[in-house]
Amino acid sequence: MGDHQNDSVRSRAARGLSASRRSDIASFIVMDIMRTAAAREAAGHRIVHMEVGQPGTPAPAGARAALLRALDCDPLGYTQALGMPQLRERISRHYDETYGIKVPSARIVVTSGSSAGFVLAFLALFDAGDRVALPEPGYPCYRNILRALGCEPVMLACGPSTRWMPTPAEIDAVDEPLSGLLVASPANPTGTMLEPERLRGLIEACRRRGMRFISDEIYHGLTYGGLDAVTALALSDDAIVINSFSKYFSMTGWRIGWMVVPDELVRPIEKLAQNLYISAPTPSQVAALGAFDSREELEANRAIYAANRALLLDGLPKVGFRDIVPADGAFYLYCNIAELTGDSGAFARKMLDETGVAATPGIDFDATRGGHFLRFSYAGKHADMAEALDRLSRWESLRG
């Protein structure tokens, strides 16, 4: 046994039978809030859920019908590690229909939600110790998964001057080596989007530095005011794209997503998927294939979110949340609450306790400035959004 292994064994022995160091990551706070809200519901309280990005609309009828048909005649065993060929072909066609680009099905990997996509991408692209740039505020699981895998997140502080998105100049200005950049557009928690030219600029900045560019496109399809999201695949064949059926397709609990990767990464990711997951859940793959037949229903869902967004953009300032980040897409409003508190965690807990409205503190998305922000999800039912505004209008902490 080598010296390093001996040191590791001695270190673990000194700590006793404790969890590994790699598991010592921050919690996903929105899930903690969700658990607390569920406990209050179990105790008989009525909770308005605005904490988690989960559509209040059901899985589309086409998805449910496809699964019911399969249950009657299909054993629903393992699929290939890369996913059902029929689903990969349908996702390929989706890129042609939606963006007018050709993406070979051979480059598509079906995953157990976008979360598995991030794990597979990070393992295939980065080694322990690699530094990966992330916008802040941003989805916390990016940095937490990277840390669990031994990588170092490099946070890029974004704000109003850049519409809460990174710029190519910021990438060029980082002195230390970087192995990758991950950007979501529309973004969580802000809902802001990258302009096509800035997206192109970020991809070019990564190419100049020999960095991988990862595009999280999970909120594509959920844009408002005539804006359309641009896929990174329209600008580069080297981009790694991660998407999911959770948001636009209203299939969060089905845990089904996909990746598009360059040809040279297909086999490495296939081997990782074989060993980590065997395959994505077959029932969910069958349902996902059927979901593409429900476009009219899915667009009706988006109209609900648009109505919720309009209601809250008008109503939240009236009840005390006056500073809202521009929200181009997704289904979140990120509110600056600095005039109300410097501790968004305590504020969110108090709001849940006293009003029954659950929202997510900004500290989940921004460790430095998040104490001054609160995220509301408007993915729920329209009546729930109206009820939340009514409750908040009567909350003493926002009055006077």
The mean pLDDT of 12-23, rounded to a whole number, is: 77
Do domains 8-58+296-395 and 61-293 share one topology? The answer is yes
Q: H/E/C letters for each residue in 125-175?
A: HCCCCCEEEEEECCCHHHHHHHHHCCCEEEEEECCHHHCCCCCHHHHHHCC
CA 279 to chain centre: 21
**Residues 125-145 as b or e (16 or more Cβ within 10 Å = b):** bbeeebbbbbbbbbbbbbbeb
What is the predicted pLDDT for the residue at 17?
A: 77
Provide the sign of the torsion angle of the four alpha carbons 131, 240, 203, 331, taken in this order.
negative
Closest CA to 52 of 347, 381, 376: 376
What is the predicted pLDDT for the residue at 126?
A: 98
What is the tally of helices (H) and strands (E) in the chain?
A: 13, 13
Which run of H or E residues covers position 41? helix 29-42
Closest CA to 52 of 195, 213, 253, 302: 253
3-class DSSP state of 375: strand
CA distance 92 to 44: 46
CA distance 239 to 248: 22
The mean pLDDT of 29-50, rounded to a whole number, is: 95
What is the predicted pLDDT for the residue at 260?
A: 98
Give this prediction's pTM. Answer: 0.93
Is residue 1 pLDDT above 50, yes or no?
no
The structural architecture, per CATH, of the domain 8-58+296-395 is: 3-Layer(aba) Sandwich (3.40)
What is the predicted pLDDT for the residue at 10?
A: 56
Amino acid at 41: E
Fold observed for domain 61-293: Aspartate Aminotransferase; domain 2 (3.40.640)
* Percent of the residues in the chain that have a pLDDT greater than 70, as a whole number: 96
Q: Are 122 and 149 in contact (CB under 8 A)?
A: yes
CA distance 330 to 305: 9
CA distance 367 to 342: 12
What is the predicted pLDDT for the residue at 8?
A: 55
Domain ranges for the chain, please list them: 8-58+296-395, 61-293
Output the average pLDDT for the chain: 94
4-8, 198-202, 215-219: least confident range:
4-8
Which run of H or E residues covers position 335? strand 332-336
- Tokens 């699964």 — which residue? 67
Is residue 6 pLDDT above 60, yes or no?
no
Torsion angle of C-alpha atoms 394, 347, 141, 186, degrees rounded to 10: 40
